[in-house]
């Protein structure tokens, strides 16, 4: 089984070029199916979630060519709007193909999406919005069949600003001949990236970066050339890696404003961060506990950065408190950190982290994408050797993770 072998104790030092954002490229790939005209996407990360998204597109009859970070998509010959459970269970973002297929064909058949296990991940908000627009959604055994009946303009008030539901509803609304308003929409930068791509294709959508989106559908979309935004979660992970190892890193291809909440917390903890145009430099000598670190929708502290931040706080001076408010089971990395000598008590939404002087190496298994990244960060600062297995989790979302870390001095290698 593939694993990272890590010899800890080396402060990271060097430059990291941040890749295109996983959570932006996946919905944009799905969106490229809405038009029958070709699109070209740049800065697409080489991660297995993108490979899986491309497989889904090809399985539907779409022509996709991937060349380094460029993906060419020609969806003119799509023959099917049925995604096999084999692909659906590989990643959460497969659910976004539902909205794209509905926009293009007025019908789609999917099943429950897979992805990281972070607690219950229902799709009730997606279905509520689709039904309000006039889509019929019904389960046929394990499979979900949706089709357009009489579509109508409507206002969808989301009880929670779900990222996935907002993306799906934006896409499905493109078929609706009247205005669809989404209230309490997610404001994550990846939603804005999706809207900017769709607008380049000719869609009429306004309100990006606000919680009210207006979509005027019923238009024929063209394709577009589009460069995917930088991955703010990869940036946040490397910022936390510099803090965890008391190192200094220069991150290139970043939007500093996208990681504001993480930057603020790390600065409060004693890191020095300098921001420039598309770059950030972080330097960390000593790390103090901060808190409370409360996760919430953008622009609060992101749930995806909670685990990497916890790895940093595991050896900070003092006690920090985490409150996870987005997912019900997102402390699955804690047992691995405990095995490395961390002092953490996690109950319900809360985790109390008492900083220890040092961690020690251990053999641990990644539980999910960000939790696995946190284990790698902890191993990088731990005394001795660690083995982090199940690295397919990290390979879903971090491009060349080990390579980028070792370019900054980390002693990390992959074994098969
Ligand atoms: C996306 C991101 C993920 C990030 C998360 C929150 C992608 C591919 N993934 O996931 O990295 O951690 O946003 O920022 O972009 N919920 C419901 N009903 C629904 C939909 C969601 O109850 O119909 C709940 C979920 O169970 C969860 C919370 O809402 O507790 C947040 O989910 P959501 O914002 O939808 O996250 P994802 O789109 O799954």
Q: Is 124 in the pocket of ligand 1 (CB under 6 A)?
A: yes
For Cα atoms 410, 239, 234, give the angle at the middle one, nearest 5 degrees: 85
Instruction: Measure Cα distances from 289 to 42, 248, 295, 332 in Å.
Output: 39, 19, 16, 21
Q: Show the domains of the chain with their CATH numbers.
A: 3-19+230-415 (3.65.10.10), 22-224 (3.65.10.10)
Minimal CA–CA distance to 373: which of 409, 398, 344? Answer: 398
Give me the active site residues, please: 116
At 142, the pLDDT band (50, 70, 90 cuts) reads confident
Average the pLDDT over 264-281 and give the result. 97
Minimal CA–CA distance to 372: which of 386, 354, 355, 359? Answer: 386
The two structure tokens encoding residue 406: 């070792």
User: What would the DSSP string read from start to end of 290-356?
Assistant: ---EEB-STTSB-GGGHHHHHHHHTTSBSEEEEE--S-SS--TTHHHHHHTT-EEEEETTEEEEE--
Q: Is 242 in the pocket of ligand 1 (CB under 6 A)?
A: no
Q: How far is the CA of 242 from the centre of ligand 1 (A)?
A: 28
Average the pLDDT over 347-376 and give the result. 97
Is the pLDDT confidence value at 119 over 80?
A: no
Q: How far is the CA of 116 from the centre of ligand 1 (A)?
A: 11
Beta carbons of 240 and 266 less than 8 angstroms apart: yes
If one counts every other C-beta atom within 10 angstroms of the C-beta of residue 156, the result is 22
Is the pLDDT confidence value at 290 over 90?
A: yes
pLDDT tens-place string over residues 294-351? 999 999 999 999 999 999 999 999 999 999 999 999 999 999 999 999 999 999 999 9
Q: Is 126 in the pocket of ligand 1 (CB under 6 A)?
A: yes
Q: How far is the CA of 186 from the centre of ligand 1 (A)?
A: 10
Ligand 1: nearest atom to the Cα of 128: 23
Eight-state DSSP code of residue 139: E
Minimal CA–CA distance to 263: which of 252, 253, 274? Answer: 274
């Amino acid at each position: 089984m593939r694993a990272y072998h890590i010899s800890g104790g080396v402060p990271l030092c060097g430059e990291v070029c941040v890749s295109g954002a996983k959570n932006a490229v996946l919905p944009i790939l799905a969106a490229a199916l809405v038009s029958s005209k070709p699109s070209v996407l740049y800065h697409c990360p080489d991660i297995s979630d993108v490979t899986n998204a491309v497989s889904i597109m090809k399985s539907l009859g779409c022509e996709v060519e991937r060349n380094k970070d460029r993906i060419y998509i020609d969806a003119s010959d799509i023959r099917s709007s049925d995604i096999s459970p084999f692909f659906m269970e590989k990643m959460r973002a497969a659910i976004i193909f539902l909205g794209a297929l509905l926009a293009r064909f007025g019908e789609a058949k999917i099943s429950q999406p897979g992805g990281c296990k972070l607690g219950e991940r229902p799709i009730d908000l997606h279905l509520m919005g689709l039904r309000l627009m006039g889509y019929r959604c019904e389960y046929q055994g394990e499979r979900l069949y949706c089709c357009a009946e009489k579509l109508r303009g409507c206002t969808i008030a989301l009880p929670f600003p779900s990222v996935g539901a907002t993306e799906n509803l934006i896409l499905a609304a493109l078929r609706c001949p009247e205005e669809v308003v989404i209230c309490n929409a997610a404001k994550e930068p990846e939603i804005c990236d999706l809207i900017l791509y769709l607008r380049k294709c000719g869609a009429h959508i306004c309100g990006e970066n606000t919680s009210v989106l207006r979509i005027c559908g019923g238009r024929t979309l063209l394709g577009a050339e589009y460069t995917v935004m930088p991955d703010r979660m990869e940036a946040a992970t490397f910022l936390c890696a510099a803090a965890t190892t008391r190192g200094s890193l220069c991150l290139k291809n970043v939007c500093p404003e996208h990681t504001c909440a993480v930057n603020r917390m790390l600065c409060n903890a004693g890191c020095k961060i300098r921001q420039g145009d598309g770059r950030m430099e972080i330097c960390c000598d000593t790390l103090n506990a901060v808190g409370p670190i409360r996760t919430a929708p953008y622009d609060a502290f992101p749930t995806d950065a909670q685990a990497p931040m916890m790895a940093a706080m595991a050896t900070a001076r003092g006690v920090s408190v985490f409150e996870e408010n987005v997912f019900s089971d997102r402390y699955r990395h804690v047992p691995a950190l405990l095995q490395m000598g961390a002092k953490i008590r996690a109950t319900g939404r809360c985790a109390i982290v008492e900083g220890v002087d040092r961690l020690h190496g251990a053999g641990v298994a990644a539980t999910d994408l960000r939790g696995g990244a946190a284990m790698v960060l902890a191993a990088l600062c731990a005394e001795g050797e660690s083995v982090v297995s199940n690295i397919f989790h990290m390979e879903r979302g971090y491009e060349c993770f080990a390579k980028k870390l070792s370019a900054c001095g980390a002693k990390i290698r992959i074994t098969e």
